[in-house]
Amino acid sequence: MTSIREIKSRLVGESTVFNCHLLKVSPGSAVVHYHIDRGRTVGDLVLPDNADTLGYFWQDRPYNVYHFIDPSGQSLGWYCNISDQTRINANTICWRDLVVDVLLLPDGRTQVLDRDELPLDLPAQLVAYIDNAVRHLLQDSTTLIETLEQSKKTWIAKIAGN
């Protein structure tokens, strides 16, 4: 599989680089794959060893999504990062993390995470952007999950074939 770099910048200016496998890149969007060797916890979600993550990025959406999948192919949850300044090309995905995240779980539960970590001096326009993105995700979560579940079948087959 082709590699691509995901560059996540934070509001405070720090950046983190992740090397991942590119599944698809098209104008304005990309899908990548990460393998999680060791389990971890995200909100109320416990990810097992050897889980997979499909990362979905769009330039025209106020979020990106990490779709967590267990080793048997079952969806564990969808972790939505509120973001902006997403730029995608054949070699890199760059985006700015706006701190707040939304965790969607298969049983219908949702969690809004890290809102308490927003800087107090954040411009009102950016706070409104974040609030609107969260509201949009919560209102449209069923449609988003259905769409990602459909595409999961294609990507899992492609991952298994490599």
CATH code (residue 42): 2.40.380.10
Return the higher-pLDDT residue of 12 and 11: 11
The band of 160, judged by pLDDT with boundaries at 50, 70 and 90, is confident
Is the full-model pTM beyond 0.85? Answer: yes
- Split at pLDDT 50, 70, 90, the class of 13 is confident
pLDDT band at residue 162 using 50, 70 and 90 as cut-offs: low
Q: How many domains does the chain have?
A: 1
**Across the chain, what does the average pLDDT equal?**
95
Kindly report the number of other CB atoms within 10 A of residue 154's CB atom.
12
Domain assignment of residue 155, given as a range: 2-160
- Report the pLDDT value the prediction gives residue 61, as an integer from 0 to 100: 98
